[in-house]
Structure 1
Amino acid sequence: MESKKYLNIIKHYENCISKHGDTLKGADWPNENDAILRYKIMLGLIKDGETCNLLDFGCGAGHMFEFMTNQNKLYDYINYSGLDISEKIISLSKEKFPKNNFYCFDILQDDINTLSNFDYAILNGVFTEKIDLTFDEMWLYFKSMITVVFDKVDKGIAFNVMSKAVEWERDDLFHLPTDLLIDFMTKNLSRNFVIRNDYGLYEYTVYLYK
């Protein structure tokens, strides 16, 4: 992408963590129950017990990893790594979890050839907020990002966006029509996907497989 207006989204999340600290509000999530539900839905991308390498793309302060490690070894078969564009936030994750691999990249600008492929990647909350981007700007950003991330996995990715099946839409959120998304995925990435709209939030999650 020529425009770097998407960096406004990164600034938003950095401002949240500066204001609220290493908390769910610092990640701009409204409550713990919904956050935990999202973690479970994202990890549903992977078959139970399937040993794999997972990239938490847009990992923030590593809250997904915290959830995984607090589940009585339920997710021990998953080898976790995190990636975020924010040097500030990645530094926090490295300080909290020094034994983990954390990467700091702007994948639309940086050379990521040094980054090995993963089996799976999850993008939890990466595309739910568009802040001051127009829909078209966010749609272009989404397509550019998904294309690069999908190329860095061998099996599949999971991501969530805001639903269009709502009574009203917020201007700062990315409400993506499923027909537009499906047309893009089937023509450019894969026809092998699942859309999950069964968990009670005003969003949906997509599992996109190779």
Structure 2
Amino acid sequence: MSLRSPDALRRYYDSRLAAHGDTAQGAGWPNEADRQTRFAVMRALAPDGRMEDLCDLACGTGAFLDHLHAAATPPARYLGLDISETAIATARAKHGADRFAVHDLLADPAPGPFDYVVANGLFTVKDSLSAAEMWDFLRTATTAMWDMTRVGMAFNVMSAVVDWQREDLFHVEADALLRWLYALAGRRVILRADYDLYEYTAYVYRAPLATRPGQGF
């Protein structure tokens, strides 16, 4: 795999957006209620859910920023990045051009740093990629995310503890992910799987936090 984000993923999400518009289904999620649950879990990366300095990687149409405003926790500094020109055009129409950019994190130098970096859904769909290709992408992308992060980062993956695994989704064994994150960032890692979806979220921190992640969720 070259040092670019897989084009198959861009095509997948562009096709969902074209088919369903600026909705949860347009972002590849089954429904809005579950998407809002994921957003709340991402927000809990920070104490009281307040990420004042945030990079939203694979931001799509800016729905997570909508969620932060609705939760009365808008960031003071925010940058949404995505490789989809169509998604970024929609995000800019809603929130302004200065808060969003078309950017491939693997191909171009990372912006920042930021206190917090999140990626919601970037590592859940593999579409036509193999599991090995997707695993390589996850490791390369999370390395770039970690280099951007001053306080903490979060991302979600599909759980491998399910009744059956979909061929188009990327199901990740928790032990394998922990081994990778420990090697990348040390042992300040929390895997959160308490929100009743077939996935889990990784929180990774530069230093121990005084408050437990999840407070305010």
- Tell me if both proteins adopt one fold, taking TM over 0.5 as the criterion: yes
Provide the C-alpha distance between the structure 2 equivalents of 1:56 and 1:84, rounded to a whole number of angstroms: 9
Is residue 2:161 matched to residue 1:172? no
- Please report how far the alpha carbon of residue 129 of structure 1 lies from its aligned counterpart in structure 2 after TM superposition: 0.4
Cα distance change of structure 1 residues 58 and 5 upon mapping to structure 2, 3 Å threshold? closer
Shift of 1:100: 5.1
Percent identity (aligned): 37
Q: Distance in 1 between matches of 2:100 and 2:49?
A: 23
Structure 1 contact 55–81 (Cα < 8 Å) conserved? yes
In the superposition, the TM-score normalised over structure 2's length comes to 0.89
Tell me the distance in 2 between the aligned counterparts of 1:83 and 1:5.
Answer: 13
- Choose the corresponding residue for 2:151, options 142, 146, 155: 155
Give how far 1:62 is off: 0.6
Matched, 1:144 2:140: yes
Aligned partner letter, 1:118: F
Query: What does the per-residue CA deviation read over 1:16-58, in whole Å, with 9 as the maximum and x for residues that have no partner?
Result: 1111111111111111110110000000000017562011110
Supply the distance in 2 between the matched residues of 1:77 and 1:11 (Cα, whole angstroms): 30
Rounded Cα–Cα distance in structure 1 between residues aligned with 2:52 and 2:185 = 21
Cα distance in 2 for partners of 1:125, 1:177 equals 17
Q: Which consecutive residues of structure 2, in runs of 5 or more, have no partner in the other structure?
A: 207-217
TM-aligned CA deviation for residue 111 of structure 1: 3.1
CA 1:138–1:204 in structure 2 vs 1: closer, same or farther (change >3 Å)? same
User: Which structure is richer in relative contact order (CA contacts within 8 A, separation 6 or more)?
Assistant: 2
TM-score, length of structure 1 as denominator length: 0.92
Q: How does 1:79-94 map to 2 (within 5 A)?
A: 79-94=77-92
Stretch moving more, 87-96 or 99-108: 99-108
Provide runs of 4+ in structure 1 moved above 4 Å.
Answer: none
Q: How does 1:73-112 map to 2 (within 5 A)?
A: 73=72, 75-76=73-74, 79-98=77-96, 101-112=99-110
Q: 1:141 to 1:51 in 2, by over 3 A?
A: closer
What is the alpha-carbon distance in structure 1 between the residues aligned to residue 203 and residue 87 of structure 2? 26
CA RMSD of aligned residues (A): 1.7
Instruction: Work out which of the residue numbers 190, 196, 202 in structure 1 matches 2:198.
Output: 202
Q: Residue 186 of structure 1: which of 182, 186, 193 is its match?
A: 182
- Give, as a single letter, the amino acid of the residue that structure 1 aligns with 2:90: L
What residue number does 1:53 align with? 53
Do the aligned residues in 2 keep the contact of 1:49 with 1:77 (CA within 8 Å)? no
For the residues of structure 1 that align with 2:35 and 2:81, how far apart are their CA atoms?
Answer: 19
1:199 alignment partner AA:
Y
1:42 corresponds in structure 2 to 42
Deviation at 1:105, TM superposition (A): 1.1
**Partner of residue 122, structure 1:** 118
1:89 is displaced (CA, Å) by 1.2
Partner of 1:9: 9
Paired position in structure 1 for 2:30:
30
Distance 2:5 2:60 in 1: 19
